[in-house]
Structure 1
């Protein structure tokens, strides 16, 4: 996500894997290569800084 911090993009498309488990948001995660991002930390990706105005697509595979 370093490229996102360096410049604004009008369209963001992520296709990755995820695991959704019942209970608290940190029980579920999005898999990025060798790193898991718990859903309660999703805001840390910074899609609101600056906001993605035109299009944001998140495709998650199990």
Structure 2
């Protein structure tokens, strides 16, 4: 199902139910953390399969 078709179905269902469609989230979250927390997160993420995939150029780039 295409995104456009899914969106049309969603908005039609909202109209039927008498509710307003929710604004979609961008998927980005900006926040500030202490440098030590950031470093720990980087080290932990380096061990995840998706991190290795991105490092090898196989991941999705935003």
Q: TM above 0.5, one fold?
A: no
The structure with more helix, counted as a fraction of residues: 2
Q: When the two structures are superposed, what TM-score results if normalisation uses the length of structure 1?
A: 0.28
User: If you compute each CA radius of gyration, which structure gives the higher value, 1 or 2?
Assistant: 2
Report 1 or 2 for greater relative contact order, CA contacts < 8 Å, sequence distance ≥ 6: 1
The structure with more strand, counted as a fraction of residues: 1
